[in-house]
Structure 1
Amino acid sequence: MNKQELVDAVAAKTSSSKAAAGEAIDAFIGTVTAAVTKGDTVQLIGFGSFSTGARAARVGRNPSTGAEIQIPAAKTVKFTAGKAFKDAVNGA
């Protein structure tokens, strides 16, 4: 499912216009992005939580030449699925 299909599905479920559903989804994405960028955790009970993680610097290899390269440390975004979401996916 891509974003447009999600907008269509939300509009159909909520009996609202596609424009309103698109704005709501954009607002949700923007709010979650802003919160996680600040270092906050966004917890949606039953669905999951978005948070930041850290990846340490490491040595990698260029696949074409085999030369070693330094990969810098980076922040990552983590999503941990909630129990209800996991149960729905697993059919429990």
Structure 2
Amino acid sequence: MNKAELVTITTSYTELKKTEVNKCIESFIAIIKKTLRSGEKVKLVGFGSLKVINIPNREVTDPRSGKRIKVPASKKLKFIPGKELKAILKQG
């Protein structure tokens, strides 16, 4: 599902216009980005949690050449599904 499809589906669930739903989704995304950028965790009960984790400097082996390569530190987004989402996915 892409954003346009999400807007259309959300519009059918609510009495809001597409422009209003789009503005809500844009705001929601902006708030999540700002929260994660500040280092805070986003927790949506029943759905899951998003958090930024720090990946330290490390060395890996290039499989082609066998040489050791230094990989700089980076940040990674981690999603942890909530209990309800896990249960839904488990049911298939």
Normalised by the length of structure 1, the TM-score is 0.85
Q: Which position in structure 2 is the counterpart of 1:59? A: 59
Q: 1:20, 1:90 → 2: CA distance? A: 34
Q: Which position in structure 2 is the counterpart of 1:26? A: 26
Q: 2:73, 2:59 → 1: CA distance? A: 11
Pick which of 81-90 and 51-60 moved more: 51-60
Q: Which position in structure 2 is the counterpart of 1:88? A: 88
1:68, CA displacement in angstroms? 4.2
Residue aligned with 1:15, SS: coil
Normalised by the length of structure 2, the TM-score is 0.85
Q: 1:62, 1:16 → 2: CA distance? A: 53
Percent pairwise identity:
32
Q: Which position in structure 2 is the counterpart of 1:46? A: 46
Residue aligned with 2:39, SS: coil
RMSD: 1.9
Aligned length: 91
Q: Which position in structure 2 is the counterpart of 1:36? A: 36
* Structure 2 gap ranges (5+): none
Q: 2:69, 2:39 → 1: CA distance? A: 29
Q: Deviations over 1:28-84 (max 9, x none)?
A: 111011001101111111111111111122224567x63543211111111111000
Q: Which amino acid aligns with 1:73?
A: A
Q: Which amino acid aligns with 2:25?
A: I
* Structure 1 gap ranges (5+): none
